[in-house]
């Protein structure tokens, strides 16, 4: 997914010999990509990889096939610079404009040389049989059908051609719906020292409250101290401290454990408060009216969805509050009545019969989103409400989030499906901002 991962893969491949080559991997130490012969080698690999069995291909590299150029056992020599357009022009002569989808990555070796990784997209049920368009080097034949096997790419034989024809006949229904996610995912970090410092500060404050109360209680009473006590006492009187020192310290320990357990969720709330929301976009590509459209999206990787707080929400409100400092407290009137007043979140309101046009998400190390639309008009585009959820990342190294989606609609007996991706923003360091939030109290 990123340059470091590509580099790690290449270093690992340089420790292997030709036996590492499989149906999803080919290694070449030297090849001239600016020549017709070099382009023909690439084209043959692309055709063979695209004609693989989808089920078998899906078991490695998420179905992709890689041709790694400039690597051999014990050597990462790379290839000299070449013009991408020249390679594309040569390859296109053999695979055609409607041929397999492919791309390449450059991984720098030094100022003049790069490792080149040819990437072929995963084969899918319903893909056509990809044929060669032109005679050429590497025994390429106009109309030839090539398949990629472990360690070789060769012409398909009778049974293999029939298998490819069956693949083409198993075409999935063309998507009537297009699903995407607009907005970006936010990778962020916060120094663990922020939490440690805050916990230590609160523990010191609470311990000091006990020490100060004991000091005052042990000091001799004077006329001045009696007058000060009388003028500052609550009109309802005071209630003595009813906790033992052991209970008080246990409360402090329990608070520390609770705030450490809720810390990650608090950081998510803080990130969602400052970052723009992501939105689900659903497009009807047909001129037909669709009802009861249900969309499910799975985003892979260390990404989670966080509910966007209201503008007036205090993001620290869900953090566990420290225990009441040691000492006597003001007596409160109507204590019993206040304790028995119903609170808003205790009231059981009847659930809505139909949650219309609202994105529901579930986090499980990655994230699943669901959206149900009452209707989707012909050629219409629906965007979910702004202000519903924010996407955050647990890693600051990913540069793109990929995912899949499925959709169904009432009276349409088809399962529509596809792939999508979400851009990743530059990572943010929230350490200073979180420190200010904690010290200011919200």
Q: Tell me: do 20 and 150 sit in the same domain.
A: yes
Cα distances from 205 to residues 26, 211, 218, 322, in angstroms, run: 64, 10, 20, 10
Those residues whose C-beta lies under 8 Å from the C-beta of residue 242, and which sit 6 or more positions away, are none
In a domain, 232, yes or no: yes
In a domain, 365, yes or no: yes
3-class DSSP assignment, residue 238: strand
Q: Tell me: do 156 and 11 sit in the same domain.
A: yes
DSSP 140: B
Cα distances from 294 to residues 298, 388, 415, in angstroms, run: 14, 18, 10
In a domain, 339, yes or no: no
240 or 51, greater pLDDT:
51
Name the residue among 287, 289, 282 with its Cα closest to residue 381.
282
Arithmetic mean of pLDDT, 191-210? 91
Distance in angstroms (rounded) separating the CA atoms of residues 414 and 417:
10
Phi/psi at 259 (nearest 5 deg)?
A: -70, -35
pLDDT one-digit tens code per residue, 120-151: 999 988 899 999 999 999 999 999 999 999 98
Name the residue among 179, 160, 174 with its Cα closest to residue 124.
174
Q: Tell me: do 152 and 294 sit in the same domain.
A: no
Query: Are 72 and 115 spatial neighbours (Cβ–Cβ below 8 Å)?
Result: no
Kindly indicate the confidence band of residue 405, based on its pLDDT and cuts at 50, 70 and 90. Answer: very high
Residue 102 burial (C-beta neighbours within 10 Å; 0-12, 13-18, 19+): buried
Query: Are 126 and 168 spatial neighbours (Cβ–Cβ below 8 Å)?
Result: yes
In a domain, 265, yes or no: yes
DSSP 315: T
Beta strand 381-383 pairing with 279-284? antiparallel
Domain end among 126, 150, 171? 171
- The pair of three-digit structure tokens given for residue 326, joined into one six-digit string: 């040691």
Q: Tell me: do 208 and 83 sit in the same domain.
A: no
In a domain, 177, yes or no: no
Kindly indicate the confidence band of residue 217, based on its pLDDT and cuts at 50, 70 and 90. Answer: low
4 or 175, greater pLDDT:
4
Q: Tell me: do 85 and 224 sit in the same domain.
A: no
Domain end among 137, 152, 171? 171
Q: What angle do CA 42, 147, 122 make, to 5 degrees?
A: 75
Name the residue among 144, 147, 126 with its Cα closest to residue 136.
144
**CATH, residue 37:** 3.30.950
pLDDT one-digit tens code per residue, 419-438: 999 989 988 888 898 888 88
Query: Are 112 and 79 spatial neighbours (Cβ–Cβ below 8 Å)?
Result: no
Kindly indicate the confidence band of residue 175, based on its pLDDT and cuts at 50, 70 and 90. Answer: low
Q: Tell me: do 236 and 154 sit in the same domain.
A: no
pLDDT score of 237:
61
Arithmetic mean of pLDDT, 32-42? 89
pLDDT score of 268:
87
3-class DSSP assignment, residue 88: helix
Q: Tell me: do 148 and 285 sit in the same domain.
A: no
Cα distances from 4 to residues 107, 188, 196, 283, in angstroms, run: 9, 19, 32, 36
Q: Tell me: do 85 and 217 sit in the same domain.
A: no
Residues in the chain: 442
Element holding 436 (H helix, E strand): helix 431-440
For the chain, the domain total comes to: 2
Q: Is the pLDDT of residue 414 over 90?
A: no
Mean pLDDT in the chain?
83
Distance in angstroms (rounded) separating the CA atoms of residues 49 and 46:
5
pLDDT one-digit tens code per residue, 229-245: 444 444 456 788 888 88
Q: Tell me: do 110 and 42 sit in the same domain.
A: yes
Q: Tell me: do 63 and 192 sit in the same domain.
A: no
Distance in angstroms (rounded) separating the CA atoms of residues 374 and 356:
7
In a domain, 344, yes or no: no
Phi-psi bin for 27: left (phi > 0), alpha (psi -120 to 50), beta?
Answer: beta
pLDDT score of 100:
93
Q: Tell me: do 361 and 393 sit in the same domain.
A: yes
In a domain, 271, yes or no: yes
Q: Is the pLDDT of residue 289 over 90?
A: no
Report percent pLDDT > 70 for the chain: 86
Q: Tell me: do 277 and 186 sit in the same domain.
A: yes
3-class DSSP assignment, residue 405: strand
pLDDT score of 45:
95
Phi/psi at 257 (nearest 5 deg)?
A: -65, -40
Residue range(s) defining the domain that contains residue 301: 182-330+352-440
Domain end among 140, 171, 202? 171
In a domain, 176, yes or no: no
Label residues 321-351 b or e (16+ Cβ within 10 Å = b).
ebbebbeeeeeeeeeeeeeeeeeeeeeeeee
């Amino acid at each position: 997914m990123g340059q470091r991962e590509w580099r790690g893969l290449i270093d690992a491949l340089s420790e292997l010999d030709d036996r590492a080559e499989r149906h999803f991997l080919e290694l070449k130490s030297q090849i001239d990509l600016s020549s017709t012969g070099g382009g023909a080698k690439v084209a043959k690999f692309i055709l063979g990889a695209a004609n693989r069995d989808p089920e078998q291909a899906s078991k490695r590299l998420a179905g992709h096939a890689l041709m790694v150029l400039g690597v051999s056992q014990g050597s990462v020599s790379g290839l000299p610079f070449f013009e991408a357009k020249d390679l594309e022009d040569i390859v296109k002569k053999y695979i055609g404009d409607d041929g397999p989808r492919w791309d390449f990555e450059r991984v720098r070796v030094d100022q003049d040389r790069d490792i080149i990784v040819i990437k072929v997209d995963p084969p899918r049920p319903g893909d056509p049989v990809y044929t060669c368009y032109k005679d050429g080097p590497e025994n390429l034949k106009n109309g030839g059908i090539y398949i990629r096997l472990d360690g070789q790419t060769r012409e398909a034989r009778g049974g293999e051609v029939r298998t490819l024809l069956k693949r083409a006949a198993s075409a999935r229904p063309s998507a009537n719906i297009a699903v995407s996610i607009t907005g970006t995912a936010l990778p962020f970090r916060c120094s663990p020292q922020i939490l440690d410092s805050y916990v230590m500060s609160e523990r010191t404050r609470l311990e000091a409250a006990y020490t100060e109360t004991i000091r005052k209680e042990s000091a001799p009473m004077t006329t001045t101290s009696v007058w000060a006590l009388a003028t500052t006492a609550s009109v309802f009187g005071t209630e003595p401290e009813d906790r033992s020192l052991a209970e008080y310290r246990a409360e402090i320990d329990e608070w520390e454990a609770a705030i450490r357990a809720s810390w990650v969720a608090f950081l998510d709330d803080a990130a969602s408060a400052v970052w723009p929301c992501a939105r689900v976009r659903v497009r009807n590509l047909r001129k037909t009216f669709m009802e009861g459209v249900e969309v499910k999206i799975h985003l892979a990787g260390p990404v989670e969805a966080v509910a966007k707080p209201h503008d007036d929400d205090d993001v620290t409100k869900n953090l566990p509050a420290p225990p009441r400092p040691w000492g006597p407290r003001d007596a409160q009137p109507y204590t019993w009545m206040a304790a028995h007043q119903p609170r808003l979140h205790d009231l059981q309101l009847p659930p809505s019969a139909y949650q219309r046009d609202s994105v529901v998400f579930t986090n499980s190390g990655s994230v699943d989103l669901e959206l149900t639309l009452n209707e989707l008009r012909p050629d219409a585009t629906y965007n979910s409400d702004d202000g519903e959820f924010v996407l955050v990342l647990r890693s600051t190294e990913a540069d793109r989030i990929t995912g899949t989606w499925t959709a169904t609609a009432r009276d349409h007996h088809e399962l529509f499906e596809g792939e999508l991706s979400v851009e990743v923003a530059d990572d943010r360091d929230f350490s200073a901002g979180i420190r200010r939030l904690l010290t200011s109290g919200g």
